[in-house]
Chains A and B, each alone.
Chain A
């Protein structure tokens, strides 16, 4: 009974390791963008888009929301859309 569970657990671990590496890479990308002197609307929107992707990865794969009702995934995605959208509007005004 235990063997299949362990196999599933091992593959889950490998998967979460990949998600972690993607998150670290996106963080370094954000830092690199921040170090660029030239800033503009496109750069601001790119950084917000990266934050959106990171938020989705954490919510769905670290918090485990991909297994639960779509309503909860929708709430977290909606949060990022509304907060990110309002921030973008404030910067574009």
Chain B
């Protein structure tokens, strides 16, 4: 009845697959998440000591641009999912197109973020204005560097896709790049409500 019957475990479940992409990228992802996780917790406890400063400063952030950037990153992650699905059916051209779309959205994220920074710098806000802005600027620019790094990684994958280096049978590199990009999205999912919304 089930075409996967031959692949099933004795209890009828399908066997667990290997992690998508290179195992090393997963160690890197965990290390990055750990670093960001510590920074998120430090931010939350620093806020508890200066409630009024944090709440008042947080209200000056542009929540609309923060939301826009969240939608941009989520959509880029979705494009990356479609890219991996395309290479799994041997459609390298389509896979490259989805990744180029994801990179374009990554570039939009960078532009929106720089616009937001410009608003703050124009208002005379710097790292030294107060602790909230120090955390806001540090956390978001550290994350921005990961977006840029992710765009370079996706660019390398597109380059290899266009040279026919990936197929339905061998697309390890596409999954590795995809996993990194999803991590960038995952971190923003925590950063955005923490720094922009919750007060």
Contact = CB atoms under 8 A, between A and B. Distances in A.
Interface of A: 2, 4-6, 9, 12-13, 16-17, 19-20, 23-24, 27-28, 30-31, 33-35, 39, 43-44, 47-48, 50-51, 54-55, 58-59, 61-65, 67-70, 72, 75-76, 79-80, 82-84, 86-87, 90-91, 93
Q: Which of B67, B70, B74, B186 has most chain A Cβ within 10 Å?
A: B74
B16 A67 contact: yes
Interface in B164-199: 168, 175, 178-179, 182-183, 185-186, 189-190, 192-194, 196-199
A90 B47 contact: yes
Interface stretch (B80-88, B111-119, B143-151): B80-88
Contacts of B70: 27, 30
B11 interface: no
Contact of B197 (A47, A80, A86): A47
Contacts of A58: 74, 77, 182, 185-186, 189
Do most interface residues of chain A lie in helix, strand or loop, or is the interface mixed?
A: helix
26 contacts: A9-B89, A13-B82, A16-B78, A16-B81, A23-B74, A24-B74, A27-B67, A27-B70, A27-B71, A28-B71, A30-B70, A30-B197, A31-B197, A39-B198, A51-B193, A58-B185, A62-B81, A63-B20, A64-B84, A69-B16, A70-B16, A83-B37, A87-B198, A90-B41, A91-B47, A91-B48
Interface residues of B, number: 51
Interface string B55-80: 00000000110010011001101101
B37 to A, nearest CB: 5
Given A79-B37, A87-B44, A48 B193 contact: yes
A12 B16 CA distance: 18
A76 B193 CA distance: 18
A61 B190 CA distance: 17
Nearest to B74: A23
A55 B84 CA distance: 20
B192 A30 contact: yes
Contact of B89 (A2, A27, A30, A65): A2
B171 to A, nearest CB: 13
